[in-house]
Amino acid sequence: MTELTDLRQRFFIADSPVRGDVVRLKQSYATITAQKPYPESIKRLLGEMLTAASLLIGTLKIEGSLSIQLQSSDESSLLNWAMAECNQSGIIRALASWKQDTEEQQQAWANKATADDAFAELGAVGKGVMFINIQPERGEAYQGIVERSHDNLAECLAHYQLQSAQIPTLINLACDGLQTGGILVQMLPRTAEEQHAIEQDETAGIDDDLWTRLTLLTRTLKFEELTTLEASEIIYRLYNEESVVAPEPISLEFGCTCSREKCEGAILQIGEAEVLEIVEEQGGTFEMDCGFCGSIYKFTKEDVEHIFA
């Protein structure tokens, strides 16, 4: 049976506090990046962000969604913002805004080929803003600020996991413009029994070299392996000498949450007088389009009046 091309494959190292996920995206990534004429480097950055969001939500025990947002703090930056989102059901989406008004800006994008090139448009290390937004179906939303500590998204996110959750984390991301892949490995806190054994100097059965060994193995993964190999093959190549447990993978697919009802809510926020003015300027119709999926919602003067009735 052919393996899914869009999935998150969880794995565990038996009898250890190590867990991980591998994500591979192809069809859904192509659908998302076909919505707009993205420059190559932004396409690749969105691929890394989609993969990262799909990996990180696997670390949460919530029903809801997780999104990664990048926001430039420099008006001269060619990248305005970018976001990618994944929910617990495996529905993903992404969007970006960039400057391409002048011939000089267009040429600048033409000279950028990698995700790191687009990421660099946030500015130097310490510049730009990155967020992780967690929106549970029940309870309060959470927003974490990710330090711009490195020159690529993967290392910034790994640094954030270590600093915020105190969990050693390895993250590797790759996107070739056609497909994207990534791996996340974490060393979770030891169980009470393991900690007690360590305190009693009863370390038999505890593999103290495991994390060092897994770190070295994971760093051998090549860019093209992440983007072309099946998830099961990646796990086997890296950890075939470990006792790996891998449950059934979770399918990932593009999906959008836009609706006419949400557009009506936005119209209410704009105000009746302003919307009616736009309707008149646009020849009797006010259009709202979804950047994620391309859907267009049209409202006539009568529609607008009905919304405010």
pLDDT in tens, 42-80: 999 999 999 999 999 999 988 999 999 999 888 889 999
238 sits in which H/E element? helix 231-239
Query: pTM of this prediction?
Result: 0.88
HSE-CB at 196 with a 13 A cutoff on CA atoms is 3
HSE-CB at 108 with a 13 A cutoff on CA atoms is 16
- Name which of 12-16, 22-26, 180-184, 207-211 the model is least confident about: 207-211
The whole-number pLDDT of residue 199 equals 58
The whole-number pLDDT of residue 139 equals 87
Amino acid at residue number 144: G
Whether residue 295 is found in the same domain as residue 176: no
Q: How many CB atoms are located within 10 Å of the residue 240 CB? A: 9
Whether residue 29 is found in the same domain as residue 165: yes
Residue 109 main-chain phi, psi, to 5 deg: -65, -35
**CA 109, CA 112: separation in Å to the nearest integer?**
5
Q: Cβ(50)–Cβ(25) under 8 Å?
A: yes
Q: Cβ(54)–Cβ(18) under 8 Å?
A: no
- In this prediction, residues 150-167 reach a mean pLDDT of 92
Q: What is the CATH number of the domain that holds 84?
A: 3.55.30.10
**CA 249, CA 247: separation in Å to the nearest integer?**
6
Whether residue 238 is found in the same domain as residue 264: no
Q: Please, what is the average pLDDT of the chain?
A: 90
**CA 97, CA 42: separation in Å to the nearest integer?**
9
For the chain, counts of helices (H) and of strands (E): 12, 14
Amino acid at residue number 208: D
Tokens in use for 93? 């989406």
Tell whether the model's pLDDT for residue 251 goes beyond 70.
Answer: yes
Whether residue 65 is found in the same domain as residue 188: yes
Is 79 exposed, middle or buried (CB count within 10 Å of its CB: 0-12, 13-18, 19+)? buried
Tell whether the model's pLDDT for residue 115 goes beyond 80.
Answer: yes
Tokens in use for 76? 């001269």
Q: How many CB atoms are located within 10 Å of the residue 74 CB? A: 13
- In this prediction, residues 22-33 reach a mean pLDDT of 96
Share of the chain above pLDDT 90, in %: 70
**CA 182, CA 154: separation in Å to the nearest integer?**
9
Amino acid at residue number 285: T
Tokens in use for 217? 């193995």
Question: Which domain covers residue 283, as residue numbers?
Answer: 258-306
Whether residue 149 is found in the same domain as residue 278: no
Whether residue 110 is found in the same domain as residue 60: yes
HSE-CB at 281 with a 13 A cutoff on CA atoms is 8
Q: What is the CATH number of the domain that holds 302?
A: 3.90.1280.10
Is 280 exposed, middle or buried (CB count within 10 Å of its CB: 0-12, 13-18, 19+)? exposed
The whole-number pLDDT of residue 309 equals 83
Span 252-307, pLDDT tens digits:
999 988 899 999 999 999 999 999 999 998 888 888 888 888 889 999 999 998 99
* Number of separate domains in the chain: 2
Whether residue 151 is found in the same domain as residue 299: no
Amino acid at residue number 292: F
The whole-number pLDDT of residue 209 equals 86
The whole-number pLDDT of residue 220 equals 95
Label residue 198 by pLDDT band (50, 70, 90).
Answer: low
- In this prediction, residues 94-112 reach a mean pLDDT of 96
Would strands 91-98 and 253-254 be described as parallel, antiparallel, or unpaired? parallel
Whether residue 294 is found in the same domain as residue 202: no
Residue 190 main-chain phi, psi, to 5 deg: -65, 150
Whether residue 9 is found in the same domain as residue 28: yes
Domain limit, last residue, from 217, 235, 252: 252
Tell whether the model's pLDDT for residue 2 goes beyond 50.
Answer: no
The whole-number pLDDT of residue 138 equals 87
Whether residue 234 is found in the same domain as residue 279: no
- Among 118, 124, 89, 78, which residue's Cα sits nearest to residue 8? 89
Whether residue 195 is found in the same domain as residue 270: no
Tell whether the model's pLDDT for residue 213 goes beyond 50.
Answer: yes
The whole-number pLDDT of residue 1 equals 39
Whether residue 61 is found in the same domain as residue 113: yes
